[in-house]
Amino acid sequence: MITLWDEDLYWSELLRQEGVSFRSGSRLSGRDVVILNCEPAELYAQRIWQHIESGGGLLAAGADAVEVLLELTPVARRLRWITPGGDPPLFRNVGIVDTETRGTFLPGANAGVTDSRAKAILATPAGRGFCILLPFEVPRVLSNAASGPKQFPAETPRFPYDTVARVSRGEVRRLVANCLRFLLGHKDLPYVHLAAVPGGLSPHGDCPQNSTFAFRVDTDFGPRRDLEAVARLADRVGMKFSWYVNIGAHRAHLDLFADLARQGHDIQLHCMRHTVYPDYKRNLENFRQGKDAMVEAGIVPVGVVAPFGEWNPNLNRALEELGFEYSSEFCLAYDDLPFRPVVDGRLSKVLQVPVHPICLGRLVAARQVARRWLPISAR
């Protein structure tokens, strides 16, 4: 069992994304891994140290662990990113971790490299237990909702880029998951969590689906013939797409989308006007008008992808007010599992569904050429 020391929405939502079982609080007995996410009082610090010495695992930001590991001397330092590397293998499936935070330099660190070229993470045995100390506080990184331009390294003449979230939430989650996996493994325990792909277990106990692929189309300003060509493509490859309709541009073509909905395509809302506003009122009006027009055409949308992948708390409030179940904006998160953003100190009612932010248009801009078509077996 995993203990989250102090109640925290960012931490608990990350653990729910992973689908692991955990409890909050300061109980230690029977808890194999302790996530120490605040500086404990001296008495508790001693108890935690004894717990580790007798075989427990500790995951903490270096700054929170100084009372537990008295020889630890973290030094405050700006931490923009961490690159993978080192031993133990904490960077399985983890790329560059954009943190953009006030972090710590940890003397003796032995895994990952920071933007100031120091080792990033301290992973060390302690008594019969094991400690992994991160150079950043997870909530401090996850609470950063800023966005900016980012290039994505690829084998293209130019790197594709888009304006995306400044911090890489998915990489933080995968790094944390690897830490938990390692700490449990140190006690010969498995990392038990819910599968991230749909589908139950087969009679043989294995998962029938290793991954899923979904294709999303933002209709933007495409002419009707292009929309019809994309619909024919979907037919040809035997797939149903998720379409997010720009009502302002495509109101006259709602018959086409109603028809696609009847064929089993997933038809949702992009916007009325192709913009995201900083304020609540205009966002509410924009998406209310879009939703009303769709409902009139017999399509009831439950999801939104906002123009340009932009996100802000006032957009989120508007989507909550309009009763949307989910939205998807890569300026908040990308390459990650769905989660509920923290808004006004609570979890949003609107689920955030991250995607990969590089679309076909961005690949064209990067001068990528189609070298071959892969066979599509999902018919």
- Listed ranges 108-116, 211-219, 343-351, 358-366: which one lies at the site for Zn ion (CB under 5 A): 211-219
- Listed ranges 58-66, 127-135, 154-162, 303-311: which one lies at the site for Zn ion (CB under 5 A): 303-311
- Listed ranges 47-55, 167-175, 220-228, 355-363: which one lies at the site for Zn ion (CB under 5 A): 220-228
Kindly give the residue spans of alpha helices, DSSP state H, lying in the chain: 9-18, 42-53, 138-142, 169-186, 224-237, 247-250, 254-262, 280-296, 313-321, 360-365
Q: How many CB atoms lie within 10 A of CB 191?
A: 16
What residues are paired with 34 via a beta bridge? 3, 58
- Is 220 a binder of Zn ion (CB under 5 A)? yes
- Listed ranges 2-10, 53-61, 157-165, 302-310: which one lies at the site for Zn ion (CB under 5 A): 302-310
Joined together, the tokens standing for residue 101 give 């935070």
- Is 218 a binder of Zn ion (CB under 5 A)? yes
Min dist. Cβ of residue 269 to Zn ion (A): 11
Min dist. Cβ of residue 265 to Zn ion (A): 18
Min dist. Cβ of residue 308 to Zn ion (A): 6
Min dist. Cβ of residue 21 to Zn ion (A): 39
User: Which residue carries 């709602």 as its tokens?
Assistant: 254
Q: How many CB atoms lie within 10 A of CB 81?
A: 18
Q: Which is nearer to Zn ion, 61 or 353 (CB)?
A: 353
Joined together, the tokens standing for residue 250 give 């495509």
The helix (run of H) or strand (run of E) holding residue 114 is: strand 111-114
Q: Which is nearer to Zn ion, 40 or 307 (CB)?
A: 307
Letter string b/e over residues 9-36, b meaning 16 or more CB atoms within 10 A of that residue's CB: bbbebbbbbbebebebeeebeebbbbbb
Question: 320 near 341, Cβ under 8 Å?
Answer: no
Q: Which is nearer to Zn ion, 88 or 222 (CB)?
A: 222
Min dist. Cβ of residue 291 to Zn ion (A): 17
- Is 307 a binder of Zn ion (CB under 5 A)? yes
Distance CA 128, CA 54 (A): 5
Tell me, residue by residue from 163 to 202, as one string, x for binding to Zn ion by CB under 5 A and - for no binding.
----------------------------------------
Q: Which is nearer to Zn ion, 49 or 243 (CB)?
A: 243
Min dist. Cβ of residue 271 to Zn ion (A): 7
Question: 366 near 357, Cβ under 8 Å?
Answer: no
- Listed ranges 152-160, 191-199, 214-222, 350-358: which one lies at the site for Zn ion (CB under 5 A): 214-222
Chain residues binding Zn ion by CB under 5 A are 218, 220, 307
